[in-house]
Amino acid sequence: MPESGAPKANFRTIALIVGAAMFMEQLDGTVLATALPSMAHELGVSAPSLSIALTSYLISLAIFIPVSGRIADRFGARTVFRTAIVIFLLGSISCANAPNVTFLVVARFFEGVGGALMMPVGRLVLMRNVEKRDLIQATSWVLIPAVVGPILGPPIGGFFVTYLNWRWIFYINLPIGILGIVLVSMFIANTRGDVPEKTDYKGIFLSSLSLGLFLFGFELISHEGLLAVALGFLGVGGLCGGLYIRHARTAKDPILDISLMKIPTFGTSVIAGAITRLTQGAHPYLLPLMMQLGFGLSAAQSGLMTLATALGSIAAKPVAPFLLRRFGFRDTLMVNGFFASAGYAVCGLFRPGWPMPVMFLIMVCSGFFMSLQFTGFNTIAYDEVSQQRMGPATSFYTTFQQLMLSMGICAGAAALQGAMVLRGHHAPQFPDFTAAFWTVAAVSLTATFWNRRFSHEAGTEISGHTPRTFSTRQVIKEPRGLNS
């Protein structure tokens, strides 16, 4: 329940506040990747060895995302969200002043604590402060900055590294974060949830260890000569994951509540969304690589080309509520899922003879369809989740979202490397990129089978869609699976 005198705000205001925090978090990661060579040179190490700065951030996410919902329920969503931004800013300042690699790695881990709390708690803020009838539009507004962040990262990072210094890439978080702290204090209610009497320490240990090893293993797959080590991490991570699942089935209040998967719309959205996110994670890796290695574009030019997907995402914002109201979640996700996968598959056919405007337009369409797809997934997931379980649900959903996006990068890298090996190429060629794009697009297309599991009346309260079969009688929605 919100505190007395809690601030009231338009759902667009709340969505943009949450989206701005996610924009800052997403921008930070992609900007850092662009600046790694320059950072490595100044710190006196090789660029590959500096990738540990990226990995330490991912490990921090894996450890703290699962507990974020419980922390928000205990101390209040506004308090935790605002604190998360402060932690992220302090971590950013520490990174900007890092004198050596060790200091940078520790600072990135600390920064990751803020990022781990911002993502799921930001989603929780949205779900608890926005009416169901406004949820589709609010989710669309949130997705815009979250999608634009990774797209703007490369050109912004290239600008700062070229004309200023790599340390400035961390300072750009300051104005966004300070504004976010002020707006959160003004417009976000400090809602709380039920807190279990006993903390699930065993679950926290097993889930954090499993997710951390998984993310670290996925990261190492792309490093030459470390495949055996990566597989070892993945194997131990899988074992810990199995032990956690066994523990969660008997624990009273597990840190990651797998019983949420019994809720029809939530479970289906998690699985279908996870499959689709493999493609979404691979796209930002494959497309800039093809633009730079295949077409010979600079990092800045490649970044400007990939702005097309951000424009497509923005264009989907006003269209999503209309389509979902007209066709419902089930039919929209099934049909749009095909076009979203096809858009990425077409990107694999790009060649030097293609006009740049045509490729730009195709990427706009790809961004449009994929943004619409995730608007649907991110909204329908919480249709049947009660307010009491909203905290655990957002932690669970965000954990798997981050895991699958990381897996997507590895899936794209593995598909590209596999195509190169089969063709005997030492450097990626256009046919290799085609094979990689088609592989991840094919994986994404299999989500259609899961989208069929949504009922025709799923999300009718959110979208306003009225299934034809129910036109002669009133539909009374009851949460399903909450007590199963």
pLDDT in tens, 402-459: 777 767 777 787 788 788 888 887 778 888 889 989 998 998 889 888 888 888 888 7
**CATH class, 258-484 region:** mainly alpha
**CB 151, CB 303: distance < 8 Å:** yes
pLDDT in tens, 350-375: 998 899 899 999 999 988 998 889 88
Q: Give the model's pLDDT for residue 477.
A: 44
**CB 438, CB 320: distance < 8 Å:** no
Q: At what angle do helices 264-289 and 307-347 cross, to 10 degrees?
A: 90
Distances (CA, A) of 112 to 233, 362, 440: 21, 34, 28
Among the listed residues 313, 289, 374, 338, the one whose alpha carbon sits nearest the alpha carbon of residue 446: 338
Grade residue 90 by pLDDT with cuts at 50, 70 and 90: very high
Tokens of 37: 């060579």
Q: Give the model's pLDDT for residue 75.
A: 84
Domain ranges, ordered by start, for the chain: 1-196, 258-484
User: Can 1-196 and 258-484 be said to share one CATH topology?
Assistant: yes
Among the listed residues 68, 152, 153, 188, the one whose alpha carbon sits nearest the alpha carbon of residue 118: 68
Q: Over 80: is that where the pLDDT of 328 sits? A: yes
Q: Give the model's pLDDT for residue 77.
A: 79
**CB 279, CB 441: distance < 8 Å:** yes
CA separation for the pair 276, 339 (Å, rounded): 12
Q: Give the model's pLDDT for residue 478.
A: 41
Length of the chain in terms of residues written: 484
Whose structure tokens read 């919100």? 2
Q: Give the model's pLDDT for residue 145.
A: 67
Q: What is the largest CA-CA distance in the chain?
A: 73
CA separation for the pair 76, 69 (Å, rounded): 10
Task: Decide: helix, strand or coil at residue 56.
Answer: helix
Grade residue 41 by pLDDT with cuts at 50, 70 and 90: confident
Tokens of 65: 């995302």
Q: What is the mean pLDDT of the chain?
A: 79
**Residue 462: which H helix or E strand, with range?**
helix 460-463
pLDDT in tens, 262-319: 888 999 999 998 888 888 778 777 887 788 778 887 766 776 777 788 788 778 878 8
**The CATH number of domain 1-196 is 1.20.1250.20:** yes
Q: What is the DSSP string of 393-425?
A: HHHHHHHHHHHHHHHHHHHHHHHHHHHHHHHT-
CA separation for the pair 137, 379 (Å, rounded): 9
List Cβ neighbours of 207 (8 Å cut-off, separation of 6 or more).
66, 241, 244, 255, 256
pLDDT in tens, 27-38: 776 677 667 667
Q: Give the model's pLDDT for residue 438.
A: 92
Q: Give the model's pLDDT for residue 159.
A: 74
